[in-house]
Amino acid sequence: MQRTKSLKIEMISILDFQREEGKKNVSSINNAIFSASKRNEADTLSYMQAKEASSNELLHTDAYVRLEVARALSNNTKMYFSGEDGILGGVLGRVFGTTNGGGGD
């Protein structure tokens, strides 16, 4: 009877130990899944940013920037020009490459 009781206690201890080890393993697996997921998100974001930067590098040439400046200025209904020696004339000259500076330099 005593031996059966001690055997039963020993079996319960073994089962409790295995249960705790199982919980630790599940926790480790969940941590690994979470880490891999976050790493994957970071890698995806990094890849997207690198591709966008590469695309922007090809897109934003001097000709494109000049075109966009011209579009923005053409949408303005009031444009004040003071010649090449004025501030606005100097800026526009630099953008479009028609002067050597202007703007009171």
**pLDDT tens digit string along 23-64?**
888 999 999 999 999 999 999 999 999 999 998 888 888 888
Other beta carbons within 10 angstroms of residue 90's beta carbon come to 20
Domain locations in the chain? 1-59, 61-105
Confidence at residue 103, expressed as pLDDT on a 0 to 100 scale: 44
Contact 104, 85 (CB under 8 A): yes
With 60 as the cut, is the pLDDT of residue 73 above it? Answer: yes
H-type alpha helices, 1-105: 2-59, 62-74, 87-96
